[in-house]
Chain A
Amino acid sequence: MGPAAPNSPPADRRRPPTEKVTTMREAIAAYVHDGDTVCLEGFTHLIPTAAGHEIIRQRRKDLKVVRMTADIVVDQMLAAGCVTKLVSSFVGNSSAGSLGELRRRIEKGEPEPLEFEEYSHYGMVGRYLAGAQRLPFYPLRSYGGSDLPSVNPAIRKVMSPYMAEGEQPEALYVVPPVHPDVTIVHAQRADRLGNTQVWGLTGVQAEAVFAARRAVVVVEEVVPDEVVRSDPNRTVIPAHAVDAVVVCPWGAHPSFAQGYYDRDNDFYRAWSQISADPGRLRSWIDEWIHGTRDHADYVAKLGAELRSRLAVGEALSLPVNYGRRR
């Protein structure tokens, strides 16, 4: 085997099976450095909020954040001064309103400008797909006639080398790969080696993990190996793509974890007001992030009443028979 390509993932994940379970504090300290390109994925479901909060607690600087739906956790990281560049395809507070800090930084350059590299959703997906597969670009059928390529020179046009007989050569837009220094995702559960199982909306987590040089998976719970092996199709990220596993119950709040807790819609609505006022926003960050030791402390502060309100009932899937050779 020749030398690894510059964008190859590190080979040392393929060490003999070892436990990768660590704490959030250690994972962020080890895998997120000032100036890094950090991808946080989770498409409205399983948003890695707790990881974003720990990045804020450890006061990381000059990060380039890659995330399709830049929402509350990105607004918080912007307000905490962690981020100089954003790569995204949607910059809004879900359907609940605006991101105050993001708008101030883009509209007024206050307190400092934010570099923004803008795509559409499928453009971002294409960047992860190209990144995960170490391809030089990914072609799409959108972007023709859009003004986005005029403000984002990374979106380019190529001619297809193939054409059906009698057809004219076809032009297509392409997007470049993205190779985050680290991708952080949240999931329902993993085993101690990092085999990660997700159900409900699986989003773009696997592609984002494979595109990155390092990956941290934050989970609601670590389960015994045999639980994962009883349903291997539910594993969306295999252990060899994962560097660290962090156990962090309620780590996706205010988003949700299917089967664990529901979305805190009141918080989404409240965020538009909190973030509209820079002073109130900074007080919120001081109280809820710097004022808590870790996510367990944050969850305790949320209170039992809120956790009970967001609790969900049971809707169990029926088991399937994988069969066992006799």
Chain B
Amino acid sequence: MTVVPDRTVTQDVTSSELLSVIASRELVGRHTVFAGIGLPTLAASLAHLTVAPGLEIVYESGVCGAHPSHLPETIADSVLITDAEAVLSIPALFGYVLQGGHIDVGFLGAAQIDRWGNLNSSVVGDWHRPKVRLPGSGGAMEVMANSREVFVVMRRHEQRSFPAALDFCTSPGPDRARADGIRPRGAGVTRVITDLGILAREGLGEELRLVAVHPGITVDQVRSATGWDLQVADTVDTVEPPTADELRLLREDVDPRRVYLR
């Protein structure tokens, strides 16, 4: 088991476990979540067992209401199809489910996020001759534009992934859409869960602000790991560390073979 140095108080909790548990708690009261593989699947699966028993996970591949016999290794794992409630075509999934407005929370990752919750998953450097070519949008742009709200999980809270300006904006939040003359729909990013704490914003016109830190992390640490002058809530909570119950469910029921809990 990898021990996260210095950044968490509980020495025997991995960063994947910590981020999954914190993200799962944020899903309380939500009904439909659009989740990719990895931490989002872990968070949504744990929420299903804890704070959001009615939660439906919708996968980009077209699967709704999956009942997998094993933890899926990809968004298109055959175990997601067998016993599923519905398997839709890609035009139906993106057109009717996502653009039709049926997703409460979309989970996204990114290489970079800015103060408004705009995301870069395309390139490091210039698009035409990038230092690093990343996979690109996939469906992220549509998840951002059409979900009621978006949660972002960032494994490392540091200046290069929280820059003052993105190298490239792949998936814009509602403020950028409006500035471009396009009527925004969802709130964009409302939660950013990192290894240092939680950032939040409500929607249009709001910057991300620090609302919680993990035990042992100071507000100044988070501010100095952020590439812009980070807004801080009047009251910054301390995140409750993962409970024994949450960890047991995660380790024994959700990912017993530790596919993602590295």
Given contacts A200-B81, A201-B61, contact A129 B91 (CB under 8 A): yes
Given contacts A121-B90, A122-B142, A203-B62, contact A173 B182 (CB under 8 A): yes
B111 interfacial contact with A, CB 8 Å: no
A284 interfacial contact with B, CB 8 Å: no
A15 interfacial contact with B, CB 8 Å: no
In whole angstroms, how far apart are the Cα atoms of A234 and B132 in the complex?
42
**Is the CB–CB distance between A45 and B145 below 8 Å?**
no
**Is the CB–CB distance between B61 and A43 below 8 Å?**
yes
**Is the CB–CB distance between B95 and A125 below 8 Å?**
yes
In whole angstroms, how far apart are the Cα atoms of A206 and B92 in the complex?
12
**Is the CB–CB distance between B135 and A120 below 8 Å?**
no
A118 interfacial contact with B, CB 8 Å: yes
Main secondary structure of the interface of B (DSSP, over half): loop
**Is the CB–CB distance between B76 and A45 below 8 Å?**
yes
B260–chain A nearest beta-carbon distance, Å: 10
**Is the CB–CB distance between A145 and B169 below 8 Å?**
yes
B32 interfacial contact with A, CB 8 Å: no
B85–chain A nearest beta-carbon distance, Å: 14
Q: How many residues of B contact A (CB 8 A)?
A: 62
In whole angstroms, how far apart are the Cα atoms of A256 and B72 in the complex?
14
CB-nearest residue of chain B to A119? B137
**Is the CB–CB distance between A90 and B132 below 8 Å?**
no
Q: Collect the chain A residues with CB atoms within 8 Å of residue B136's CB.
A: 88-92, 118, 120
Partner of A146, one of B36, B133, B170, B175: B170
What are 17 A-B contacts defined by CB distance under 8 Å? A45-B76, A107-B132, A109-B129, A119-B137, A120-B141, A122-B141, A141-B182, A142-B146, A144-B178, A144-B183, A144-B184, A147-B122, A147-B169, A151-B127, A171-B182, A200-B87, A206-B89
> Besides the contacts A89-B136, A123-B141, A151-B127, what 10 more A-B pairs have beta carbons closer than 8 Å?
A43-B61, A103-B133, A120-B139, A121-B60, A141-B99, A144-B184, A148-B122, A201-B63, A202-B87, A203-B62
